Structure 1
Amino acid sequence: MSSSAMFSILRRQFSTSGALRQLVVPPTQVFGLEGRYATALYSAAVKSKKLEQVDQDLGKVSQLLKSDPRLGEFLNNPLYNKVAKSAAFAKLLTGLKVSDLTLNLFNVLGLNGRLGRSGQVLASFAIIMSAHKGEVPTEVVTARPLDSKETQELQSVLNSFAKSGQKLQVSFRVDPSIVGGMTVAIGDKFVDMSTASKIRLYHNLLKQSV
């Protein structure tokens, strides 16, 4: 077949005022402890009309953590006193001129001894913001790299599946184990057009017929 054919304390702090008692439902769910922090921050930022600012703040914090591995080691080190660790990180954030909501988030993480999970909270918030912006994660896995013409044609086909206001964030990955064809994941939808899956299907059919 041709390629063209296949193509909690935080929650309490944010909920102390009447305006923040009801959480704004995020456009997508994120799970776990980190997801709860991220969801609470998103809700507070929307209600305070500071979502764009908070998103920019967290981008700065993410860049800071990526550029200085020693900072991540410091935040993850359980030997440091959590109060002192929180104060030191708050000083760094103040230098970045982040919003009060962003500062509150990391203060609460610090007081709860969870600054070491800051990266996971940032990742969860990024997932929410991606959905808020209408971005849909899309992954294409092929057995071999696609050439420019195939990539362009596939991009065109994939974009036709996007709903109004959506933007597909397409990434490509090569996995020789699928033998041929491709698999495509758009959000929570998955299509398997790989040769490997067909081989498994035929193998199962043959086993049933014996």
Structure 2
Amino acid sequence: MVDKVESEILDIVEASKRSPLFSQFIKDLSVPRETRVKAVKEVFAEAGFSDTTKNFLAVLADNGRLRHVERISKRFVELAMAHKGEVKVIVTTVIPLPAEEEKELKQTLQEILGQGKTVIIEQKIDPSILGGLVVEFGQKVFDMSIKTRAKQMENFLREPINFGSLK
């Protein structure tokens, strides 16, 4: 059920990105509450959405919160992943990781996170890091990029040397 609701909510977000008219409708608070709720129920019933999703969207429409569906969907996806024991890991590199390296990284992260967790890797490409990689998950960031190492070296070299401490 969680997967179905997640999929349906993500479909709504995509629809609002593709359709300016739909996007305007969900953000427009000038539409009377009853009209908004009725339209939401009818449109999503016709689309074959589950009762859970339809009722949730009706509550959002009734409370004038439908315009926040994109932000709500992001949080829902995070909670659904946590419920399923999945951990999203963002790996930033200069070029895409070769399949073998991605597999090794995934295994290492699985060991760090422990049993019962499934690592989902999302690769980002950022040439500005110059090399190495940046791994982010949860509130943790492991920055092993050349850009960061060079910045650390620059900061070290800019520090004044205390020759008195060398005696």
1:87 matched residue in structure 2: 38
Say which structure, 1 or 2, has more relative contact order (CA 8 Å, 6+ apart): 1
Please give the root-mean-square deviation of Cα atoms over the aligned residues, in Å: 2.2
Per-residue deviation, 1:92: 2.0
- How many Å separate the matches in 1 of 2:6 and 2:123? 27
For 1:145-160, list aligned pairs within 5 A: 145-160=96-111
Alpha-carbon spacing, 1:125–1:207, altered in 2? closer, same or farther (3 Å): same
Per-residue deviation, 1:73: 2.5
2:4 matched residue in structure 1: 56
Structure 1: gaps of 5 or more residues: 1-51
2:67 matched residue in structure 1: 116
Indicate conservation of the 8 Å contact 2:86/2:119, yes or no. yes
SS of the residue aligned with 1:193? strand
1:45 matched residue in structure 2: none
What is the TM-score with the length of structure 2 in the denominator? 0.80
Per-residue deviation, 1:114: 1.8
Q: Would you identify which runs of 4 or more consecutive aligned residues in structure 1 move more than 4 Å?
A: none
Larger Rg: 2
Indicate conservation of the 8 Å contact 2:94/2:126, yes or no. yes
- How many Å separate the matches in 2 of 1:181 and 1:94? 49
1:19 matched residue in structure 2: none
Aligned length: 157
2:57 matched residue in structure 1: 106
Indicate conservation of the 8 Å contact 1:65/1:71, yes or no. no
Indicate conservation of the 8 Å contact 1:143/1:177, yes or no. yes
Aligned pair partner of 2:136 in 185, 199, 207: 185
- How many Å separate the matches in 1 of 2:122 and 2:3? 23
Structure 2: gaps of 5 or more residues: 162-167
Instruction: Say which structure is richer in strand.
Output: 2
For 1:9-158, list aligned pairs within 5 A: 52=1, 55-67=3-15, 69=19, 70-95=21-46, 96-99=48-51, 101-158=52-109
SS of the residue aligned with 2:10? helix
Letter of the structure 1 residue corresponding to residue 136 of structure 2: A
Indicate conservation of the 8 Å contact 2:134/2:141, yes or no. yes
